[in-house]
Amino acid sequence: MAEITAGMVKELREKTDAPMMECKKALTEAAGDMAKAEEILRVRLGNKASKASARVTAEGLVGVFISADGKLGSIVEVNCETDFVAKNDDFIKFVNDMAQLVAESNPASVEAIGSLAYAGGTVDSVRSALVGKIGENMSIRRFERVSAAGRLASYVHSGKIGVLVDFTGADEAVGKDVAMHIAATKPKALDSTGVPAEDVERERSVAMAKATESGKPAEIAAKMVEGSVQKYLKEVALLSQPFVKDDKLTVEAMLKSKGSSVSRFVLYVVGEGIEKKVNDFAAEVAAQAAAAAAAAK
């Protein structure tokens, strides 16, 4: 049987806000599998257990660039080690310059960005010099370059969430409003057909487990599962979400009322999906003290 450590219980509690003992039970049942334990808690405790599941742990900034005619744009994520460096003027300039460089140079990959000419050298040489100056490692994590079918709008929230939206319509404010909505609600896709299949199956699995525990007849349980999946799809697809500025309208209805449409969007959240080592300072001090005592004997 897998050992369930206090650190594992603490991590699951921080992800889900579930009671400590429930976290320990779920981890034991899941044989230490964190993702499985989170699903078990969602079945038992409902959506509360998904709270904070999207918390990010890496630092950095998202940079966005849009050409003057609104037809070409890019979005870039550059990571660093601490939030302190993310507020450094040189780092901020580097991030914004990378967004523009990606749009204008159209690199084939993140690796290809490093060899692009930049500031009298290459991106890699300037990045290395900046690392030496600031004293902290940094890297370009990802980018996307967008040629608009209509025109582009963007929104960046505190440098941590960046959005590009390809939209049509005469009202420029619509594009900005949709970009802000996306930053606030973080949809997974434009409509339900674009939601990743693995996400849908995960929700279906949780819904089936809940329906089974309810003890309802099979026919009713099947309807419960389908209803839960459809509700999930409406919640995570942009066009079916209630518009943040007027929740009586869906985003799709709002766009239609303005004679507008959205063909695609790109959403970046800094550090999303990156695991960051968390140091236990007290444990480190205790370990150092113990080592010093052992060396003195």
Whether pLDDT at 49 is above 50: no
Q: What amino acid is encoded at 10 in this protein?
A: K
Cβ–Cβ < 8 Å for 184, 243: no
Task: Give 93-101 contacts, CB < 8 A, sequence gap 24+.
Answer: 94/126, 94/127, 94/130, 94/138, 95/60, 95/61, 95/62, 95/63, 95/159, 96/63, 96/65, 98/63, 98/123, 98/140, 98/143, 99/63, 99/64, 99/65, 99/74, 99/75, 99/143, 100/65, 100/74
- Whether the per-residue pLDDT at 48 is higher than 50: the answer is no
Q: What is the pLDDT of residue 41?
A: 79
pLDDT of residue 296: 58
83/88 Cα distance (integer angstroms): 9
* pLDDT for 133 beyond 80: yes
The per-residue pLDDT for range 187-230, each reduced to its tens digit, is: 999 999 999 999 999 999 999 999 888 888 889 989 999 999 99
**Nearest-angstrom CA–CA distance, 255 and 244:** 13
Tell me what pLDDT residue 281 has.
45
| Higher-scoring residue by pLDDT: 211, 49 | 211
pLDDT band at 7 (very low <50, low <70, confident <90, very high): confident
Which is more confident, 86 or 283? 86
Q: What six digits make up the tokens of 239?
A: 């066009």
| pLDDT for 216 | 86
Nearest Cα neighbor of 150 from 263, 67, 68 is 263
Query: Residue 54 — very low, low, confident or very high, per pLDDT cuts 50/70/90?
Result: very low
pLDDT, residue 73, reads 98
Q: Which two tokens stand for residue 162?
A: 């960046």
pLDDT score, position 273: 77
As a whole number, mean pLDDT of residues 92-102 equals: 98
What's the pLDDT at 2? 77
Q: Please determine, for residue 70, whether its predicted confidence score (pLDDT) is greater than 50.
A: yes
Under a CB-based contact definition with an 8 Å cutoff, are residues 125 and 116 in contact? no
The larger pLDDT score, comparing residue 90 to residue 296, is at 90
Instruction: Classify residue 279 as left (phi > 0), alpha (psi -120 to 50) or beta.
Output: beta
Taking the whole predicted model, whether its pTM rises above 0.85 is answered as no
pLDDT for res 55: 36
SS3 per-residue string spanning 175-219? HHHHHHHHHHHCCCECCHHHCCHHHHHHHHHHHHHHHHHHCCCHH
User: Which of 20-29, 101-110, 239-248 bottoms out in mean pLDDT, i.e. has the lowest?
Assistant: 20-29
DSSP characters for the chain?
-----HHHHHHHHHHH---HHHHHHHHHHTTT-HHHHHHHHHHHHGGGGGTTTT----EEEEEEEE-TTSSEEEEEEEEES-HHHHT-HHHHHHHHHHHHHHHHH--SSHHHHTTSEETTEEHHHHHHHHHHHHTS-EEEEEEEEEE-SSEEEEEEETTTEEEEEEEESS-HHHHHHHHHHHHHH--SBSSGGGS-HHHHHHHHHHHHHHHHHHT--HHHHHHHHHHHHHHHHHHHBGGGSEETTEEEEEHHHHHHHTT-EEEEEEEEETTTT-------HHHHHHHHHHHHHHHH-
Mean pLDDT rounded to a whole number for the chain: 87
Q: Taking 90 as the threshold, does the pLDDT of residue 242 lie above it? A: yes
Q: What is the pLDDT of residues 245-293, one digit of tens each?
A: 999 999 999 999 999 999 999 999 999 877 655 544 455 445 555 655 6
Among residues 160, 173, 146, which one has the least CA distance to residue 92?
160
**235: pLDDT confidence band, cut at 50, 70 and 90?**
very high
- 155-196 pLDDT, tens digit per residue, is 999 999 999 999 999 888 999 999 999 999 999 999 999 999
What percentage of the chain reaches a pLDDT higher than 90?
A: 64
Quick check: 51 pLDDT over 50? no
